[in-house]
Every structure is written in C-alpha cells, then in structure tokens.
Amino acid sequence: MTEETQRKSGEVQQKRVVGRTIAIGLGLVCIVLAAALIGVVAVYLSNQTTNAAATDALKVENANLKGNQTSLIQQISNLQTSLSQARDEIASKDADIADYNSAYIALQNVLNMNASATILPTTAVPLDAGTNVTLYNNYLDYAGLVTVQATSSSNTTYAQVRYVFSGYYFENVVVVGQSGTAAFAVLPGNVEVIIGNTELSTAVTSNVAVTYIY
C-alpha cells in the first residue's frame, strides 16, 4: 500500500468517526428533546387535570353559594314578613292604648262631672195656654244635672223634670218665666223633660235648649 493510499484510508476512517460522533450527538439531542417534550406533555396533562378539578370544585362551590343565597333571600323575606306583622301589632296596640286613654279620660270626666251633651239644641216651641210639651224622654246613663234654658212670651213658663230611680219617683218644677235657666239633679234612668205654662187663655211662644251635664 502506497503512502497516498494510506493517507486516503486514514481520511475515510476519520470521516466515519466524525459521522458516528455527529450521529450519536444528534441522537442524544433527539432523546433530550423527546424527554423534554414528554415532560411538557406530562405537565400540560397534569395542569389540565388540576384545572378540571379546580373547575369542578368552583362549580360545586358556586352551586353551594347559590343555595346559600336562596336560603338567605328566604330568611330575609321571612324577617320582612315578621317585621311587617310586628309593625301591624304595634299599630294595633297603639290604637288600643289610644282607645283606653280616651275611655279613661271619659270616665275621669264623668267622675268629675266635666262631660256634657246637648239633649235639645235651641228650638222654637209653641205652647197653647195652660199646656206643656215633652222635650226629652229617654235613658240617661249617669247621675248629673239637666239644665233647661228658655225664653218665652209668658212669665208663667216653667220647666219640669221627672224620673224613677230604684222604685222612687222624683219630680221637680222650676218657673223660668220669660227668660231663665233651671237646673235639675238626676240619677241614672229614664228621664222626662217638660216645658209648659199656666196661662189661662193666651198662647205662648218659647225657645228652649236642654243640656245634660254628667
């Protein structure tokens, strides 16, 4: 073998070694890249699984929150209903208290004889000579006074009150003349109030008002 041939043979062997080295390097690179890809895929799949689990957990939590929201809304509605009922009860009790206060004041007025009622407002009452007219005949609840205020064309005009209490008959007559006021003490029961005159022939004109003080 000549020197030239040996040289060429050495170059070929050298090229083969270099080619093998390159091939091995490329193989290693491919292996590393494949391993990296597998790692990336594994991480991606792991992340996907984790995200799916997190999503499911969030969905469950959201459903629970919606359930809690519904429950809270119902509780608020119930509380509003209870509040409205409580307000109605308070308003009703306030009205009862106002009624009781009014009744108490009315009773106090009765006890102190500070209450009064108009039995007959001022009314024109024509009278024939020697006659009388019943102005009021009804039940009075409390002991008190009946006043008769009259003006008339005769000085014989009189006011009269009569009633029965516990089986006793009471009657009183007061002459009011042409102008006057008569007061009669009365007890609970049916009370009759009368206006009349003792003229012999002349008719009488009169204006009369009756008040009950109790």
Looking at 96, 112, 128, the residue that finishes a domain is: 112
Same-domain pairing of 138 and 206:
yes
Report yes or no: 210 and 110 within 8 Å, Cβ to Cβ: no
Total of domains in the chain = 2
Is 29 in the same domain as 68?
A: yes
Specify whether 85 is located in the same domain as 167. Answer: no
Phi, psi for 61 (deg, rounded to 5): -65, -40
Mean pLDDT to the nearest integer, 156-164: 98
Q: What CATH number is given to the structural domain containing 207?
A: 2.60.120.660
Residue 37: both structure tokens together: 């890809």
* pLDDT given for residue 92 in this prediction: 85
Q: What is the pLDDT of residue 36?
A: 74
Provide mean pLDDT across the span 166-189: 98
Contact of 193 with 173, CB cutoff 8 Å: no
- Considering the domain architecture, whether residues 56 and 118 belong to the same structural domain is answered as no
Please give the residue that has the higher pLDDT: either 89 or 185: 185
Verify that 151 and 71 share a domain, yes or no: no
Confidence category of residue 51, pLDDT binned at 50, 70, 90: confident
Task: Give 38-49 pLDDT, tens digit per residue.
Answer: 877 667 767 777
Q: Based on the fold, state whether residues 99 and 5 are members of the same structural domain.
A: yes
Q: Of 64, 81, 112, which residue is a domain's last?
A: 112
Asked if 3 and 99 sit in the same domain, the reply is yes
Domain shared by 95 and 9, yes or no: yes
| pLDDT of the residue at 15 | 61
* Residue 86 structural domain: 1-112
Measured CA to CA, the distance from residue 117 to residue 20 in angstroms comes to: 134
Helix boundaries (H) for the chain: 3-111
Q: Is the pLDDT of residue 196 over 80?
A: yes
Q: Is the pLDDT of residue 202 over 70?
A: yes
